[in-house]
Amino acid sequence: MRIGFIGPGRMGRPMLEHLTAAGHEATVLVRRPQARAAAEAAGLDWADTVAATVRDADVVFVVVLTDEQVRSVCLGPDGAIEAMKPAATLVQHTTSDPATARLLADAGVHRGIKVVDAALSGGPHDVVAGRLTLWVGADETALDEVRPLLETYASPILPVGPVGNGQRVKLVNNALFVAQLGLVVDAVRLADSLGLPEQTLLAAVRHGSGTSRALGVVAHGEGGVQALADRLGDLMRKDVTVVREVARNAGADLGIIGTVLSSDAVEKTVLDRARTVR
Q: Note the pLDDT of residue 247.
A: 94
Alpha helices in the chain (DSSP H): 12-21, 33-41, 50-54, 67-74, 80-83, 98-109, 124-129, 140-150, 165-193, 198-205, 213-220, 224-250, 255-261, 264, 272-276
Would you say the pTM of this structure is higher than 0.85?
Answer: yes
Q: Note the pLDDT of residue 43.
A: 83
Q: Note the pLDDT of residue 69.
A: 96
The domain segmentation of the chain, as residue ranges, is 2-161, 168-276
Contact 9, 33 (CB under 8 A): no
pLDDT digits (tens, 9 = 90+) for 118-170: 999 999 999 999 999 999 999 999 999 999 999 999 999 999 999 999 999 99
85 is catalytic: no
Contact 72, 62 (CB under 8 A): no
Q: Which fold has domain 168-276?
A: N-(1-d-carboxylethyl)-l-norvaline Dehydrogenase; domain 2 (1.10.1040)
pLDDT digits (tens, 9 = 90+) for 230-273: 887 888 888 899 999 999 999 999 999 999 999 999 998 888 75
Is the pLDDT reported for residue 275 higher than 60? no
Q: Note the pLDDT of residue 273.
A: 57
Distance (Å, whole) CA 13 – CA 128: 9
Q: Note the pLDDT of residue 277.
A: 42
User: How many other CB atoms sit within 10 Å of the CB of residue 254?
Assistant: 17
Q: What is the DSSP letter of 246?
A: H
Edge-to-edge order in the sheet of strand 25-29: 45-47, 25-29, 2-6, 59-62, 89-92, 114-121, 132-137, 154-161
pLDDT digits (tens, 9 = 90+) for 77-117: 999 999 999 999 999 999 999 999 999 999 999 899 999 99
Mean pLDDT of the chain: 93
pLDDT digits (tens, 9 = 90+) for 192-238: 999 999 999 999 999 999 999 999 988 887 677 778 878 878 888 88
Q: Note the pLDDT of residue 121.
A: 95
DSSP string, 110-161: TTT-EEEEEEEES-HHHHHHT-EEEEEES-HHHHHHHHHHHTTTEEEEEEEE
Distance (Å, whole) CA 195 – CA 117: 47
pLDDT digits (tens, 9 = 90+) for 16-53: 999 999 999 999 999 887 778 888 888 889 999 999 99
pLDDT digits (tens, 9 = 90+) for 48-66: 999 999 999 999 999 999 9
Distance (Å, whole) CA 133 – CA 118: 9
Distance (Å, whole) CA 73 – CA 51: 9
Distance (Å, whole) CA 58 – CA 66: 24
Distance (Å, whole) CA 273 – CA 276: 5
| 85, 170, 238, 268: the active-site residue | 170
Strand partners, 198: none
- What are the φ/ψ torsions at residue 244 (nearest 5 degrees)? -65, -45
Q: Which fold has domain 2-161?
A: Rossmann fold (3.40.50)
